[in-house]
Amino acid sequence: MKRDSFDPAATLWSSTAAARTPANPLEESLEVDTAVIGGGFTGLSTALHLAQSGRQVALFESFEVGHRASGRNGGQVVPGFKPGPQALIQRFGNDVARRMMRFAYGNADALFELASALEIDCAATRQGWIQGAFSPASAAYLEGRAREINAHGGDVEYLPGDAIAAATGSRFWPAGLLERRAGAIHPLAFARGLAQAAAARGVSFYEHAAVNGIHAGPGAAKTLQVGKHLVHAKRVIIATDAYTGQLWPAVAQSYVTVASAQIATAPLPMALQQALLPRRAGVSETRKITYYCRIDPEGRFVIGGRGRASDQIDPATEQQLRTAALKRFPQLEGVRWEHRWACRVGMTIDDLPRIHELAPGIWTAYGYCGRGVAMGTALGRVLADAVNGVPAADLDFPVTQLKRLPFFPARQFGAALAINWYRLRDALGHPG
């Protein structure tokens, strides 16, 4: 395979976002009301909402804001949960499940309203999102899912064969589900915009400031080790998702991390753009280990899919993505692929994110299973409510007890096991 020259550190988003000067690292010890660890959507949104409620907040990021998943994702803003309404009702009971659905089905609206209120220039578009079926069984599953979601406050449409072909310009998917409230953003621009808005509301940012440890002392005091310096805080938010590692090992052992890789073409000629995804909705699939694609605001075709347990894309994964693109859109034959990158996502075993209070005053939210753009931003607001003392019963998302995955003593082994299990499940034609 011929490889174009490229900078492996650069992504489509980092090469097309407006320049930004990073904040300084921490240069002295500090006392703060709330320390937020992690500058992705979860941490940024929590910091913003806490500052809006009058709290004194400092945010610490190992690299720069948006360095991991929040600045490297597909930018698809998809509301809702992967589990359907009945599964949620069965598990959480009617009242809690209905509240969760109201929250989740509205979280794309919430993101677009936030971006607009904060005047974040992130190329926001609202042409929906399509989940393509890959088998007759998954088409039937999507038809039932559409009925169920609409009966519980969602806004989706089942697209049979001709309708999905008209919306996507491809006959690859036998049917699909259109999520009307969905859309897309430039993810790094959105992350940087959130950071700018939070800073304007008083949040202190420290970048290249990895937190190496958290010590919860007696009473309300917590101490963070940041390089040579100490940060004393009354409350701590851990917003490090797939990159939590040794910072709080029990969290890192409660999910698996899976790599997702993306490639993007050069801007395509207008005629080709119009033939591809004519509705301009992003597309994903019902498979657990799925491919997803969209057209970016400058007419590049972007496709992503499972990577190889690493933050770097390897040639085999890139080839696999090119092949997947051509299978879905043969019109892409001969186009030039200009960008390639990868990153990791946190996947929980039941496809639901988590909020926990890990110790008094130490909160976390994580585990978005590839749907963290709208959800991470929305759960940041819920974390801020929790920190501000809103009772658990009144929060929009349930606070649960942390549970380690008992059968995953070694995380990477666990991830490999889970991927194989999901692959097998997909190959056997599991519908959703």
Ligand X SMILES: Cc1cc2nc3c(=O)[nH]c(=O)nc-3n(C[C@H](O)[C@H](O)[C@H](O)COP(=O)(O)OP(=O)(O)OC[C@H]3O[C@@H](n4cnc5c(N)ncnc54)[C@H](O)[C@@H]3O)c2cc1C
CB of 341 to ligand X, least distance (A): 7
Judged by beta carbon, residue 242 or residue 391, the one nearer ligand X is 242
Q: How far apart are CA 307 and CA 316, in angstroms?
A: 9
Our finding on whether 80 is near ligand X (CB under 6 A) is: no
Contact pattern from residue 32 through residue 61 relative to ligand X, giving x for each residue in contact according to CB under 6 A and a dash for the rest:
-----xxxxxxx----------------xx
Number of residues near ligand X (by CB under 6 A): 43
Instruction: With contacts defined by CB under 6 A, name the span among 130-138, 174-182, 235-243, 409-417 that binds ligand X.
Output: 235-243
Contact pattern from residue 139 through residue 168 relative to ligand X, giving x for each residue in contact according to CB under 6 A and a dash for the rest:
------------------------------
Our finding on whether 198 is near ligand X (CB under 6 A) is: no
Out of 260, 265, 320, 348, name the contact with ligand X by CB under 6 A.
260
| Segments in 53-186 forming alpha helices (H) | 69-72, 85-92, 94-105, 107-117, 136-151, 161-168
Residue pair 329/364 in contact by the 8 Å Cβ criterion: no
Our finding on whether 242 is near ligand X (CB under 6 A) is: yes
Q: How far apart are CA 77 and CA 58, in angstroms?
A: 27
Produce one character per residue of 272-306: b if its CB has 16 or more CB atoms within 10 Å, e if not: bbeebbebbbbbbbbbbbbbbbbbbbebbbbbbbb
Residue pair 415/124 in contact by the 8 Å Cβ criterion: no
- Nearest 5°: phi and psi at 192? -65, -35
Q: How far apart are CA 261 and CA 305, in angstroms?
A: 6
Judged by beta carbon, residue 74 or residue 432, the one nearer ligand X is 74
Cβ neighbours of residue 221 closer than 8 Å, sequence gap 6 or more: 232, 234
Radius of gyration of the chain (CA): 21
Instruction: With contacts defined by CB under 6 A, name the span among 28-36, 120-128, 332-340, 365-373 that binds ligand X.
Output: 365-373
Judged by beta carbon, residue 256 or residue 373, the one nearer ligand X is 373
Our finding on whether 210 is near ligand X (CB under 6 A) is: yes
CB of 271 to ligand X, least distance (A): 26
Produce one character per residue of 188-211: b if its CB has 16 or more CB atoms within 10 Å, e if not: bbbbbbbbbbbbebebbbbbbbbb
Residue pair 207/65 in contact by the 8 Å Cβ criterion: yes
Our finding on whether 69 is near ligand X (CB under 6 A) is: yes
Out of 13, 190, 205, 368, name the contact with ligand X by CB under 6 A.
368
Which one-letter DSSP state was computed for residue 281? Answer: -
Contact pattern from residue 286 through residue 325 relative to ligand X, giving x for each residue in contact according to CB under 6 A and a dash for the rest:
------------------x---------------------
Shortest Cβ contact with ligand X: which residue? 372
Residue 35, by phi and psi: left (phi above 0), alpha (psi -120 to 50) or beta? Answer: beta
CB-CB neighbours of 371 under 10 Å: 22
Q: Please give the residues from 264 up to 283 whose contact with ligand X meets the rule CB under 6 A.
A: none
Out of 203, 211, 233, 387, name the contact with ligand X by CB under 6 A.
211
Judged by beta carbon, residue 122 or residue 345, the one nearer ligand X is 345
CB of 303 to ligand X, least distance (A): 11
Binding site for ligand X (CB under 6 A): 37-43, 60-63, 67-70, 72-76, 78, 210-211, 239-243, 247, 260, 262, 304, 343-345, 366, 368, 370-374, 376
